């Protein structure tokens, strides 16, 4: 399958234990549809817009189905939610998800529209941990009709 990618519209929101980003609301959203779907979004720090936090949601095409819940773990290759940091164009290694769930409420494989919920715990390679709760997403490629 050809990789189709670009800007996405909709929202990604969550509550986090990251002291600088307790209420995550993605400002810019992107998508990639190849062997499944990947949506990501980032939010800048209000005091320094060059510092950002990112959330990326991935689900393999073979596993994607509306109403399906995935257990998030390092071993699960069908679905993931990834939290990572960037500063002035430098992207730091993603936090490793140690547990959580991702539920696909709706999925349209024809248009790429997807919605659902997530929660997770993750740890950085430096030992920093983050808990993300109340995560929601409702997204579609920006070039799709409403």
Backbone angles phi, psi at 32, to 5 degrees: -145, 125
Model confidence band, residue 146 (pLDDT cutoffs 50, 70, 90): very low
- pLDDT value of position 88: 87
Q: What is the pTM of this model?
A: 0.90
The Cα 28–Cα 64 span in angstroms is 24
Unique residue bearing structure tokens 């109403």: 67
Q: What's the CATH number for 4-141?
A: 2.40.128
Q: Which two tokens stand for residue 37?
A: 């779907």
Nearest C-alpha neighbor of 23 from the set 113, 121, 106, 133: 133
Average pLDDT value for residue range 55-79: 93
Per residue in 28-61, pLDDT (tens digit) is 999 998 778 899 999 999 888 899 999 999 999 8
CA 38 to chain centre: 8
């Amino acid at each position: 399958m050809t990789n189709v990618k670009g800007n996405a519209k909709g929202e990604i929101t969550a509550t986090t234990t990251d002291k600088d980003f307790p209420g995550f609301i993605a400002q810019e959203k992107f998508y990639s549809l190849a062997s499944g779907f990947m949506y990501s979004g980032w939010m800048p720090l209000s005091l320094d817009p060059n510092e950002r936090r990112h959330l990326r949601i991935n689900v393999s095409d073979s596993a994607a189905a509306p109403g399906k819940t995935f257990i998030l773990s390092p071993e699960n290759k069908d679905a993931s939610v990834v939290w990572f940091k960037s500063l002035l164009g430098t992207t730091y290694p993603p936090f490793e998800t140690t547990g959580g769930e991702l539920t696909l409420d709706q999925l349209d494989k024809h248009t790429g529209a997807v919605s659902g919920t997530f929660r997770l715990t993750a740890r950085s390679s430096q030992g920093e941990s983050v808990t993300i709760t109340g995560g929601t997403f409702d997204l579609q490629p920006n070039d799709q009709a409403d």
